Amino acid sequence: MSFSDYRTALVTGASSGIGAAVVERLCRENIEVHALARSAEPLRKLAEKTGCIPHAIDVTDRTALAELTARIEFDILVNNAGVDRPKKFLEADEGDIDLLVDVNLRAVLHLCRMVVPGMVARDNGHVINISSIAGAYNFGGNSSYHATKAAVSMLSNQLRLDAFGKRVRVTEICPGRVATDIFAHVHGDDPSIRERFIDGFELPEAADIAEAIAFAIAAPIAVNIGHMEITPTLQVMGGLQTARPATPRAVSSSKGPTTKGSKP
């Protein structure tokens, strides 16, 4: 399988970061690339730079997505759009949970529902789900995010089962920390955020993730690259922690029940 086997691609979350880098990379392969995001102005600039076709659509707008996917047959689907609201689940509010489920999971499910049946019917297609190491590893303060990314990981596995027997490939991309502006979107556009997450670290760039996606797409037809974890060399996942209790546990002095009239 080479890029010449595909004619069209749809990339979500395309206005910046990994999404924009993927659009740029796919446009170099003589593919008609449709770039989808909420922000019209960044998409306009990206279209001027790359020749992509911009669509200022929120991925939660199911009606607009249905109209677009009914009008165009997509051979490549890159589910990249994502959000986060980092906080402990004990402090999560209703809006945070709904937003993450709507963008990170529900939109992916519906786009796959709209696009993958056509791929199966044509016996040709490639789904790229950009998940996260958070789908497999735990770190504090992102419970809803972990849950949605783990769901996308399982969806990727299930899509291969549902499309079994057809030349529809599914690749899950799991980035670790990448030098993009996602941290500013999540934590606020403050110099301290860049210092905390990017400055001084040796990190992959968005273009590196795009190249990994291109590698998976360009693999021979007999090859499905199903899962890729892409992390900085100097990043590891996991770790063991043991906590002391905040207060000592009360110890009962009871020696057990006694029967009335029994001898001590």
Which is the catalytic residue, given 145, 179, 206, 225? Answer: 145
In a domain, 199, yes or no: yes
Spatial contact of 86 and 142, defined as CB atoms under 8 Å apart: yes
For residues 53-80, give the mean pLDDT. 98
pLDDT on residue 75 = 98
Beta-sheet strands, E only, within 80-238: 125-130, 168-175, 227-230
In a domain, 177, yes or no: yes
Spatial contact of 168 and 124, defined as CB atoms under 8 Å apart: yes
Q: What is the span of the domain harbouring residue 174?
A: 3-230
Model confidence, pTM: 0.88
In a domain, 253, yes or no: no
Give the number of domains in the chain.
Answer: 1
Q: Is 145 a catalytic residue?
A: yes
Which bin fits 200, alpha (ψ -120 to 50), beta or left (φ > 0)? Answer: left
Q: Which helix (H) or strand (E) holds 8?
A: strand 8-12
Span 108-142, pLDDT tens digits: 999 999 999 999 999 999 999 999 999 999 887 78
SS (H, E, C) 215-253: HHHHCCCCCCCCEEEECCCCCCCCCCCCCCCCCCCCCCC
Residues 6 or more apart whose Cβ sits within 8 Å of residue 184: 190, 193, 194
Name the pLDDT band for 241 (thresholds 50, 70, 90): confident
For residues 216-241, give the mean pLDDT. 92
pLDDT on residue 12 = 98
In a domain, 245, yes or no: no
Span 164-196, pLDDT tens digits: 999 999 999 999 999 887 665 665 566 777 777
In a domain, 257, yes or no: no
- Which token pair is 168? 């529809």
The percent of residues in the chain predicted with pLDDT above 70, rounded, is: 91
CATH number at residue 213: 3.40.50.720
